[in-house]
Structure 1
Amino acid sequence: MDASRLTAIDVHTHVLASVTEKERSGSGSDALAGTFGTIPELTVPELADYYRERSMAAIVFTVDSVTRTGRGPRVSNEEIAEQATEYADTLIPFASVDPGRGAEAVRIARRLIDEHHVRGFKFHPSDQGFFPNDPAAYPLYEVIAEAGLPALFHSGQTGVGSGQRGGGGIRLKYSNPMHLDDVAVDFPDMPIIIAHPSVPWQDEALAVAGHKPQVYIDLSGWSPTYFPPQLVAQANSLLRKKVLFGSDFPALSPDRWLADFAKLDIKEEVRPLILKENAVRLFGLDGPGKPGEV
């Protein structure tokens, strides 16, 4: 990937459709409808075309929440990784493995790293139904840390199940970013990305990112119009090298996000850090180096 040609790197996008499906049922996005309405379900090639048109790169992933839902991911990690290799100029594949799978999760993660060359892992504590600092998840983190890969964790409120009876069974308590403080202590060399403005725990996320050198925050899932003032203030100052552009596409388009970001009170010298340069450094896109160095 030639980072010099990119205008931005979107670190948070979802693959909701498989290239092997002839028809798209819409079920992959039903859980988000209460917050985002009807959203498009795109395959990996469609996502690649979308971001290429914008001279952007994107991290792509699915979510494996089989323990809570009884169903595996709509699109397999293997398909995403294999398809992404055909668009390596634009896409960076992450994997998602439900920690509730136990020893199987460790075996799956090793295989995805060794055979499919995934570049990181996505976790959704509320959807997967686990506390990130549960020691039962640590063997899985050990595999990720050993490979020198980052782990991205959903935080705060979620659109999944919003407005549904009982919130669709989703428990928000799992996604308090303060649980990630323990993970950062116990895995000091594993880069951690706290996904989203962490409503209602924004201050906790800022505290963890400010205190732990390998912890970052992505700004996905919310229009910048609604960013809390303390998030904007720290993005402009203490955390200027720790904040990453993410849209949550296709739930929220990068076009909408960037248009609103242009109106945000962000210093001109900080904008390129958030949009691209922090991600370039984190993912080692500027040449050999240790991921997560600040």
Structure 2
Amino acid sequence: MVVDAWMQHPTRRMLEQDWLESLRRWTGEEFAAEVPVGRTIAAMDGGGVDVGLISAWYAPEGVLVSNDEVAGFVAQYPERLVGVASVDVRRPMDAVRELRRAVRELGMCALRVVPWLWGLPPNDRRYYPLYAECVELGIPFCTQVGHTGPLRSSEPGRPIPYLDEVALDFPELTIVGGHIGYPWTVEMIALSTKYPNVYIDTSAYTINRYPPELVAYLRTHGRSKVLFGTNYPMISPEKALSGLEILDLDTEAQDLFLSGNARRVFGLT
């Protein structure tokens, strides 16, 4: 089994955002105004991905992919897709109520907030009610670490001190840092090693671009702490998994990386 820990099935509202222009240049990808869910499933099939975690996107510009839309996508392919919630962090109590609804009524398995969208690092006070609710609901908090591909400031993606302080304040919170953390990969590895509930996912990077430090971590004491991800549709599963053999992982490490860690962290059956 292969589980993709970071995907999104985009709406037209999301694809029209100006800050995606840099990613279009990097990937050479152009997307139709509306993307059928079947295209996402076909991309998963093309790369051998069995289950994909697709996220809602809430931003200062508005709701780009709503929790209800994600639930609708999942309903079309319930054996292949799992929903991840998002919320408007500027309204903390409304955000807590929406997260609670998304998990309890819509079946979402995690919360994802992308700090560069809001210009707020993850130790900002507006996130803290959400962290407490994630602990109460028993779900992970997923976030982006490292520089931003889109045309926004990279500063909120620094693992230290921002995510370090969150892990200290909420030792019961499971945190998944997506996008490796480059150019602060060593900092992200340090946090994942330091805290039992902090993990890394490899979304937004193809295997031949994994930093050497991450590959060494995957092969050794970090084998239970790294999850495979693509950041689809910006990188296809087929492209993201190409060259898997160059990681030189033993059977246990490869199984944990491709699915075991994600199934444990997100409570997937």
Q: TM-score scaled by structure 2?
A: 0.90
Equivalent in 123, 127, 142 of residue 137 of structure 1: 127
Residue-by-residue CA offset, 1:217-275 (whole Å, 9 max, x unaligned) = 00110111111111111111111011101011110111011112232233343111101
Match of 2:245 in 1: 262
Point out where structure 1 has 5 or more consecutive residues left out of the alignment.
1-6, 19-23, 162-169, 287-294
The amino acid across from 1:65 in the alignment is A
Equivalent in 173, 176, 187 of residue 158 of structure 2: 176
* Distance change (3 Å), C-alpha of 1:57 and 1:37: same
Residue-by-residue CA offset, 1:127-179 (whole Å, 9 max, x unaligned) = 22111011221012111221001111101112112xxxxxxxx1111111121
Match of 2:58 in 1: 64
Deviation at 1:72, TM superposition (A): 1.4
* Distance change (3 Å), C-alpha of 1:144 and 1:253: same
Secondary structure of 2:4's partner? strand
The amino acid across from 1:36 in the alignment is T
Larger helix fraction of residues:
2
Point out where structure 2 has 5 or more consecutive residues left out of the alignment.
none
C-alpha RMSD over aligned residues:
2.1
Match of 1:97 in 2: 87
Deviation at 1:43, TM superposition (A): 4.1
Match of 1:9 in 2: 3
Aligned pairs, number: 263
Aligned residue runs from structure 1 range 202-217, under 5 A: 202-217=185-200
- The answer to which of 208-217 and 94-103 deviates more is 94-103
Deviation at 1:80, TM superposition (A): 0.6
Aligned residue runs from structure 1 range 1-294, under 5 A: 7-17=1-11, 26-28=15-17, 29-30=20-21, 32-40=23-31, 42-51=35-44, 54=48, 56-66=50-60, 71-161=61-151, 170-178=152-160, 179-286=162-269
**Which runs of 4 or more aligned residues in structure 1 lie more than 6 Å from their structure 2 counterparts after TM superposition?**
none
The amino acid across from 1:57 in the alignment is V
**Does the CA contact (< 8 Å) of 1:36 and 1:159 recur in 2?**
no
The amino acid across from 1:48 in the alignment is I
